Structure 1
Amino acid sequence: MPDTNFGIPDDDAVIEKALEDASIPTLMMSMIHMSGDARLLDGEVRPAGVFINEYQGYMSEEAKATVRAQALEVIKAFRDGGCKLPPPPDAKTVHRMMNFLVAAEVAEDYVPMMLEEMELDGVDQRSDAWNDDLTVKVRREHKVLVIGGGMSGVLAAYRLQEAGIPFVLIEKNASVGGTWFENRYPGARVDVGNHLYCYSFEPAHHWSEYFSQQGELQQYFEGVVNNHRLQDHIRFGTEVTRVVFEEDSKLWAVDTVDKDGRKEQYVVNSVISAVGQLNRPTYPNIPGIESFNGQWCHSANWDNSIDCTDKTVVVIGSGASAFQMVPTIAKRVAHMTVFQRSAPWMFENPIYHDKVPQGKKWCLQHLPFYTRWFRFLIFWPACDGAYDTVFVDQDWPHQDRSINAMNDMVYDMFAEYIKGQVGDDEDLLAKVIPDYAPMGKRTLQDNGSWLSALKRNNIDLVTSGVVSVSEEGVTAEDGIFYPADIILYATGFETDQFLWPMEIRGRGGVTLADQWGLEPAAYLGITVPNFPNFYCMYGPGTNLAFGGSLIFNGECQIRYIMECLKAHIQSGEQTMECKEDVFADYNSRFRALHAQLVWEHDSIKTSFYQNAEGKVTLLWPWKILDMWRWTKQVNQDDYYLGG
């Protein structure tokens, strides 16, 4: 049934003031729900276009004022009528509303996915749909262990509890949140709009910024755990050391150790790994790191005792963490040297550090389905729209800078944005224009803060590598010594060692690390031959590099896993295991497609997406729509069900 729990307690003046901050295209969608009148879709006042992080549809001020005046009357009538919703728009009208909102045709193929994502009918289609197919008794006999309490682990816990499956979640940290618990460096924030970077079943109105900082994100995940009473299932401060499939019992034995050294073993039917890809920091292989006399740390292991005020600071790295950290501390330091191995491509996001206005929060909280349409407005521009830019055209003549005609347009757009900020400083411009095709590495969002920081008199950008660290500072490849009071390593993670350092043994005692070698791979990024009843979330080949949200991916993956558990339990068999030929076919298609994409292009000399052989193992190479389709149901023919 549709959610009718809407209430508008405020007077006309409060409503009118709130509408000044509203996303006008989103407001128009809510007006249709409140009035039942879809004639707005036929009018001349409409959005003119859509782009990532642009929420007003490029509408004129006159047009926006017209809509606000109309909306005030609709909201007043809705409020004065007791906030009773008329019958919801039919499916055809909803599709028209989608097209209207984004000023483009939303292809029919995407409509079911977006309808499911928005939940306009109040039905969570990703929730427990088992109904009476499985009795409570049968469900309770299947025990699950979840490894990791980050975004994916909390999601798995929610769905398992919802389905009545007994489980325990093992988390190495003192709280949930994963990357948002660990990455506490100055300036750490999400780079997906917060109103999309939240669970579909737990949308949030409270975000203080469009792209919230670490603390607020951490609080969100803790809030989900508290709201749904998941904490009793979680063992904090505990690491999984060994996971072994027992051939005789067909059960998994999971060894753990807590922060005090106490060991415990859990015996379960199924294991869900939700450890993610970016959770083990990596330090560069530079001689003398331990010899430095000053303070030093990795951005993912931030030392809260570090105070950069009036200090000489060296930052090694210029990727996503440094991109956020350097501008945050630039004004406080006496001097900072940033060592850059590879310049990042960036695109303009003027609201990257902006607060969410109070009026917009009011709309999100009070106006029917405003939250859902705003979520769609964020999602759609980032949903497969950039897919054509990542395919390599072998006949394209400008392979030194781009991979196809559309990618070359992106090159020009990104480069002009950078040039516009750098100005006449030719030396700096030569350092900050990347020498590889756009989209080939992680593309960063920028509101001008990064290059503004690099232009400061107290900041130097160095493109020589660091060859050694001594007691007083670092020495670059060109022999120049850089003294330092503090060294900060923004050098990424052990992305090529999935599920490391756990020992995971499947059938015949084979270890997952040995089976994978340099190419971690899983069917749909979720299941692996020889490892029955073992599931990955945010597993190999499921990261994103051109749009979407990892939370959306996670919701697709856990639905698939829950369907696997259902099929497994219904079968009455002890194990469910991906067939080798199914996995091999999938992996062959995965490798063949990646060979055509920008992330393995010759211009990408180094990338954390690649392994030592230059092959990409982290990224999803298909469309987001494909992930949704392929994880919606389980084809039991893909699996062995047996003993």
Structure 2
Amino acid sequence: MNPQIPDRSFVERAVADADVNVLRMALFQATRDADIAAVRAERVAGAVADSVEFSTEDTALIRSKAVEYLMSGDTADVDTVLSTEEIDDLILMAEARALAPDKLVMRRRILSLPEWPFQRERPETVSVPDGYSVAIIGAGFSGIAMGVQLARLGIPFTIYERRSEIGGVWSINTYPDVRVDTLSASYEYSFEKKYPWSEYFARQSEVREYLDHVARKYGVFEHMVFDADVTSAKFDDAAKTWTLTVASADQTPLTVVANVVVAASGLFATPRELPIEGVAGYSGRIVHTTEWNDSVEYAGKNVAIIGNGSTGVQLLSKVASEAASVSVYQRTPQWISPRAKYGEAISDELQWLFQTMPFYWNWNKYVAGLANNDLRELLIADEQWIADGGVVNKRNDAMREMLLGYIRAQVNGREDLIEKLVPDYPPMTRRPVVDNQWYASLTRDNVELVTTPIERLTETAVETSDGVAREADLIIAAVGFQTEKFLWPTEYIGEGGVSLEQVWNVQGAQAHLGMSVPGFPNMFMLYGPNSQPVASGAGLPIWLETWCAYIADGILEMLEKGYDSVSVRREAFEHYNEQLHKEAGRLIYLSQTSATEKNYYVNKWGRMQVSAPWDGEEYFAMCVHPRLSDFEFQHAKTK
């Protein structure tokens, strides 16, 4: 036996832990086994998304053949260079359905067979002038992605991070049980292959370690400046450059000049304040979840948790297991859903399979996003279905019934809780929340769900509008972020001295493809307004790579043609946003059944502000390369 191959029982356990569709695709791509090709995959409709399933006999065949293949020791990496037609055939096999050609373009890249599926290469015709630089603001997922792209292009850059470490939101949030709410396999860059995540849904500390690893491995870390808060950035109309004012750790302001600015501060950068009377007079401790640290004590305390979004739902179980009492204050019920393998570790056997079996990592990444490809179907009202007595459409209503059953099961059928927990709006209208035993924790003897509105804080308690005051030693403010404040608090001043805040105060934050705004040349943003599509098999890091490549195209075009500035034309910006808001009007976010007044997806002007209303493939077609006719290129007047 090859000494590098574990014993047969280990391999069998590894194969048993594997996703059968992922295993089938990896095995077929590596061996082209006719028996595996003949396996019949059945696409089964589900309440949320379709699944691909196999008979018991075929499942056994796939697993058996995989064991024999792995035991043979003949698992050296197979050639990954496939034709477009070959990749498309594999994708159709994996999804067990026919797909139109335009639905395959991004899917081919999600599979991540090339070393760099999304990044741009620098043409030989492009040279970089001495002193040229790009300033990136923020060292989270977005800033690192931009840094990796620029490092590959050989374009000088500096990343300014206002905190003392890398990670962005994954540095700020350290509250109990904080973790990703999408599979780790879809929350990673496409170019960092086979990263050994320890859990299916990675915890905060591991995500931050991952970002640190990527930044160091790909030559980005040495370009970072920490404790550097960019307070303002002003465009020089004549020189076509940006002047940044940077507050350093000792508060000494620095002035930096950059040719291009990329705002990568993220959507979840500005905590929302606790909007309750009496905060100043409360004698206990109030901790926003972004302020959590090791000094926060909740064991044996009377704790109030205000908020039931993703943050409040994640931390309740851990806090309730040690606190004397927990009062959970819920303003609006949420649709909170289960996730398979949430909180589970990835076994050593499966870790070995990721590293050993050709293409298993690729297909695992692809299949991890399959359920998200068709989510848009949940968001479009079916008028005939509604006329016949339905609420939204067949699939959305089925999801509602599934979640109702889940609530009932988790709270042991307690009607007093069910009555308070069921939302009066359709699923998917607001950001979905992943359950971390939140419902079950409400049934604990030391936990009380409070739905009466909070009136004020007294010196020692939280008082609700019915006059009841519940004692609290510690208040955890799980009230989220000011997502309407894109790029805040940095002040961006564009052409003619106009600030971005002035522009966005008219109808809210808007950008062309979420990345650029007229009047702000050489400025791009990542995870800007209406960025992420409502349905996509690609996770956020892959979208960041896509946007970074788009930005790189704009910079390369300037460098190659000798221009000093690039700015999106107003007519292109306005046309795009007209189409965006027209398309958004088809979705339930803006419908009468939506709780729009309590939904950060929608701003106070009644516009969608976070997501792009298209599916992933359609939006990717817009973002894969800039349409140069949408932009104006200029030379500096000072030359």
TM range (shorter): over 0.9
State how far apart, in whole Å, the 2-side matches of 1:55 and 1:181 are. 35
Whether 1:421 aligns to 2:410 is yes
Q: Does 1:97 align with 2:90?
A: yes
Q: Which residue of structure 2 aligns with residue 617 of structure 1? A: 609
Corresponding residue of 2:352: 362
Counterpart amino acid of residue 183 in structure 1: N
CA-to-partner distance for each residue in 1:323-379, whole Å, 9 max, x for gaps?
A: 101112111111100110111112221311111122211111111111001111111
Give, in whole Å, the separation in 2 of the partners of 1:150 and 1:322: 22
Amino acid at match of 1:131: P
Structure 1 residues 516, 224: CA separation in 2 closer, same or farther (over 3 Å shift)?
same
Name which of 269, 276, 279 aligns with 1:279: 269
Of 152, 156, 159 in structure 1, the residue corresponding to residue 146 of structure 2 is: 156
Q: Equivalents in 2 of 1:639, 1:372: separation in Å? A: 36
1:224–1:50 Cα change, 3 Å = farther
Report the counterpart of residue 26 of structure 2 in structure 1.
Answer: 30
Please tell me whether residue 42 in structure 1 is matched to residue 32 in structure 2: no
Distance 1:398 1:508 in 2: 53
Which one of 64, 67, 77 corresponds to residue 69 of structure 1? 64
1:330/1:453 contact within 8 Å kept:
yes
1:105-164 alpha-carbon deviations (Å, 9 max, x no partner): 3443232312222232x34242232331313x44x5531000001100000011011100
Q: Is the 8 A contact 1:148 1:274 kept in 2?
A: yes
Residue in structure 1 matched with residue 528 of structure 2 by the alignment? 539
Give the equivalent residue in structure 1 for 2:491: 503
State the Cα deviation string for residues 36-70 of structure 1 (Å, max 9, x = none). Answer: 435412235x4665879999954455543332221
1:194 and 1:26 mapped to 2: Cα distance?
15
Q: Could you tell me how far apart the structure 2 residues matched to 1:8 and 1:129 are?
A: 40
CA distance in 2, matches of 1:87, 1:596: 41
Number of aligned pairs?
629
Query: What amino acid does structure 1 have at the position aligned with 2:629?
Result: D
**By how many angstroms is 1:86 displaced?**
6.4
Is 1:519 matched with 2:508? yes
Question: For residues 325 and 53 of structure 1, do their structure 2 counterparts lie closer, same or farther at Cα, with a shift above 3 Å needed?
Answer: farther
Corresponding residue of 2:459: 471
What SS is found at the alignment partner of 1:303? coil
Counterpart of 2:136? Answer: 146
Q: Mean alpha-carbon deviation: is it higher for 566-575 or for 24-33?
A: 24-33
Q: Is the contact between residue 291 and residue 470 of structure 1 (CA under 8 Å) also seen in structure 2?
A: yes
**How far apart, CA to CA, are the structure 2 residues paired with 1:113 and 1:153?**
22
- Paired residues for 1:284-363 under 5 Å: 284-363=274-353
1:207 aligned to 176, 197, 204, which one? 197
- Taking the aligned partners of 1:520 and 1:498, their CA distance within structure 2 comes to 7
- 1:594 is displaced (CA, Å) by 1.9
SS in 1 for 2:429: coil
**TM-score w.r.t. length of structure 2:** 0.93
- Rounded Cα–Cα distance in structure 2 between residues aligned with 1:512 and 1:124: 34
Structure 2: unaligned runs, 5 residues or longer: none
Q: Structure 1: which 5+ residue stretches go unaligned?
A: 1-6
Match of 2:475 in 1: 487
Q: Does 1:450 align with 2:443?
A: no
Q: Distance in 1 between matches of 2:285 and 2:382?
A: 48
- Cα distance change of structure 1 residues 59 and 271 upon mapping to structure 2, 3 Å threshold: same
Shift of 1:455: 1.1
Cα deviation digits, residues 224-249 of structure 1 (max 9, x gap): 11112322210111100010001221
C-alpha separation between the residues in 2 aligned to 1:360 and 1:56? Answer: 22
Give the whole-Å Cα distance in 2 for the aligned partners of 1:296 and 1:400.
46
Question: Counterpart of 1:3?
Answer: none
The CA distance in 2 between the partners of 1:243 and 1:93, in whole Å, is: 48
Equivalent position to 2:423, from 434, 450, 454: 434
- Pair 459,11 (structure 1): closer, same or farther in 2 beyond 3 Å: closer
**What is the CA-CA distance between 1:318 and the residue it aligns to?**
0.6
Instruction: Name the SS for the 1:622 alignment partner.
Output: strand
Kindly provide the CA deviation profile for residues 237-267 of structure 1, in whole angstroms up to 9, marking residues without a partner as x: 1100010001221110011001221211110
Instruction: Tell me by how many angstroms 1:85 deviates.
Output: 3.0
Q: Secondary structure at the match of 1:195?
A: helix
Q: Determine helix, strand or coil for the equivalent of 2:242.
A: strand
* TM-score (norm: length of structure 1): 0.92
For the 8 Å contact 2:28–2:37, the answer to whether it is kept is no
- Asked if 1:556 is matched to 2:546, the reply is yes
2:248 match: 258
Corresponding letter in the other structure for 2:409: G
**1:18 alignment partner in structure 2:** 14
Output one character per residue of 1:162-221: Cα deviation in whole Å (capped at 9) or x when no partner: 100001100011111111111111011101110111000013431111001111111000
Aligned-partner residue type, residue 429 of structure 1 = I
Structure 1 CA distance, aligned partners of 2:224 and 2:293? 26
Moved more, 507-516 or 458-467: 458-467
The structure 1 residue matched to 2:368, chosen from 375, 378, 384, is 378
Q: What does the per-residue CA deviation read over 1:440-481, in whole Å, with 9 as the maximum and x for residues that have no partner?
A: 10112236x111001111111111221211220111122211
1:352-408 per-residue CA deviation (whole Å, 9 max, x = no partner) reads 11111222111111111110011111112212x011221234666489983334322
Offset of 1:306 from its aligned partner?
1.2
| Alpha-carbon offset, residue 609 of structure 1 | 1.7
Q: 1:52 to 1:179 in 2, by over 3 A?
A: farther
Cα distance between partner residues in 1 of 2:105 and 2:615? 15
Aligned residue type for 1:459: V
Residues 105 and 131 of structure 1: CA distance in aligned 2, closer, same or farther (over 3 Å) = same
Residue in 2 that maps onto 1:218: 208
Please say if residues 51 and 371 of structure 2, whose CA atoms lie closer than 8 Å, have aligned partners that are also in contact: no
Give 3-state SS (helix, strand or coil) of 1:188's partner. coil
The code of the aligned residue for 1:641 comes to F
Q: Match for 2:195: what amino acid?
A: H
Give distance in 1, aligned partners of 2:246 and 2:60: 60
8 Å contact kept, 1:19–1:360:
yes
Q: Which of 111, 120, 143 is the matching residue for 2:104?
A: 111
SS in 1 for 2:524: strand
Q: Does the residue aligned with 1:31 lie in a helix, a strand or coil?
A: helix
Contact 1:556/1:631, CA 8 A, preserved across alignment: yes
Separation in 1, partners of 2:527, 2:174? 22
Measured against aligned partners, the alpha-carbon deviations of 1:73-128 in whole angstroms (never above 9, x if no partner) come to: 22334x25x726368665444333323333333443232312222232x3424223
1: CA distance between counterparts of 2:386 and 2:50?
37
Structure 2 SS opposite 1:625: helix
Deviation at 1:568, TM superposition (A): 1.6
The verdict on how the C-alpha distance between 1:98 and 1:333 changes in structure 2, with shifts beyond 3 A counting, is: same
SS in 2 for 1:375: helix
Q: Distance in 2 between matches of 1:272 and 1:334?
A: 47
Indicate the percent of aligned positions where both proteins have the same amino acid: 28
The change in CA–CA distance for 1:115 and 1:200 in structure 2 (over 3 A counts) is same
Q: CA RMSD in A?
A: 2.5
Question: SS of the residue aligned with 1:474?
Answer: strand
| CA distance, structure 2, for counterparts of residue 226 and residue 620 of structure 1 | 32
Q: Could you say what secondary structure the match of 1:267 adopts?
A: strand
